[in-house]
Amino acid sequence: DGGITQSPKYLFRKEGQNVTLSCEQNLNHDAMYWYRQDPGQGLRLIYYSQIVNDFQKGDIAEGYSVSREKKESFPLTVTSAQKNPTAFYLCASKEDPGGDTQYFGPGTRLTVL
Amino acid sequence: RKEVEQDPGPFNVPEGATVAFNCTYSNSASQSFFWYRQDCRKEPKLLMSVYSSGNEDGRFTAQLNRASQYISLLIRDSKLSDSATYLCVVNGGYSTLTFGKGTMLLVSP
């Protein structure tokens, strides 16, 4: 089965702690993306990567970091510098080049206690 | 800065009704347009791409008006299973997409 997996599905963390969200895809897609979604809001782009070992900031990168050491993996770290980290985090991927359609993983719901 | 705007909703309709969603976008250079569907607490899933000539997929019809920077989605013969939030999506340059906030549809028996 080809697809995008994210883990964990639910994550709780204490204020001041860093936490890393996993995103893996076996679709052989070049480009990967991280979004954040807050209740009643659209998806906002955090970071994206079009190729291994390269990534760019999206609209709301402050307080987040990423790495892209392998084509299949694009982990997101939510640092203690992120002021409002509680949100639904979605990872997506797409072939690049080859259209703009992005496919999403099931998401991780992060709650800061 | 609102780049993709949608009807705020929610839309409450009975089964069998026809419902239309509207969307406007601000980036005149956009080339790709989509409708995604998002169920409650789930990830968005591609419903359909939108082409200049308009396109239809079963009960769903999407239309694009580049001059007015306007996109629409028409759902005919609504089913209970159509209840979801519908996201209007436009490519934003540099291989990225810009999402609207979505319009919630509630189909009742």
Q: Tell me the pLDDT tens digit for each residue of B58-89.
A: 999 999 999 999 999 999 999 999 999 999 99
Distance, in Å, from the CA atom of A55 to the CA atom of A103, rounded to the nearest integer, reads: 18
Which amino acid, A80?
Answer: S
Could you say which of B4, B49, B95 has the minimum Cβ distance to residue A96? B95
Question: Closest residue of A to B3, CA-based?
Answer: A42
Residue A97: which pLDDT band, with cuts at 50, 70 and 90?
A: low
Q: To the nearest whole number, what is the mean pLDDT of chain B?
A: 93
Residue B55 Cα distances to A49, B51, B77, angstroms: 31, 6, 17
Which amino acid, B80?
Answer: L
Q: Does the distance separating the beta carbons of A33 and B96 come in below 8 Å?
A: yes
- Choosing among B35, B95, B101, B104, which should be mutated to test the A contact, i.e. which has the most A CBs within 10 A? B95
Residue B15: which pLDDT band, with cuts at 50, 70 and 90?
A: very high
**Chain B positions in Cβ-Cβ contact with residue A101 (cut-off 8 Å):** 34, 46, 49
